[in-house]
Amino acid sequence: MTLPHPDTDQISLSTVLAALGDETRLAIVGCLARREDMGGLVCGQLGTLCSKTNLTYHVAKLREAGVVSVRPEGTKRHVSLRRADLDSRFPGFLDSVITTAVDMPAVDRALHKLSLPEDLGDA
């Protein structure tokens, strides 16, 4: 990891809650949850959630809180949930949040394009 991530044992619940207490960031987590079996996704795939600049800000918030892990891949940034760390620190918490977050309209909108073949997403 090139970017700073908090150690598992120093992830604070109130910081995690504050990080998730924002519609945009909760939607980011919802998207990550729906792509968990694919190991996460790349920042750019969250383009419909907010502006590019703003996305950098929100993803950083989630990373600093210990909610997500960000790994540089060339010019891209691979983002994924810190599932194991959150589960060990706050058992049951992530699943209970995700159950609701995956159903957010913003998550549908963001992931819809990705599920379409080629680049016909905006057709």
Partner DNA sequence: GTCCTTGTTCAAAATTCATTGAACAATTGA
Partner DNA sequence: TCAATTGTTCAATGAATTTTGAACAAGGAC
Residue type, 8: T
The reply to whether 34 sits near DNA by the rule CB under 7 A is no
The answer to whether 78 and 42 have CB atoms below 8 angstroms apart is yes
61 makes contact, choosing from a second copy, DNA, none, with CB < 5 to 8 Å by partner type, with: DNA
Smallest distance from DNA to CB 31, Å: 13
Q: Which of 2, 14, 53, 115 binds a second copy (CB under 8 A)?
A: 14
How many Å apart are CA 76 and CA 82, to the nearest integer? 19
Nearer to DNA, 43 or 104 (CB): 43
The answer to whether 59 and 49 have CB atoms below 8 angstroms apart is no
Smallest distance from DNA to CB 40, Å: 11
The answer to whether 113 and 41 have CB atoms below 8 angstroms apart is no
How many Å apart are CA 53 and CA 73, to the nearest integer? 19
Stretch that binds a second copy, among 20-28, 55-63, 72-80, 109-117 (CB under 8 A): 20-28
The reply to whether 109 sits near DNA by the rule CB under 7 A is no
How many Å apart are CA 17 and CA 21, to the nearest integer? 6
The size of the interface with a second copy (CB under 8 A), counted in residues, is: 22
Q: Which of 1, 4, 10, 51 binds DNA (CB under 7 A)?
A: 51
Contacts of 13 (CB under 8 A, 6+ apart): 90
- Binding region for a second copy (CB under 8 A): 13-23, 26, 90-93, 95-97, 99-101
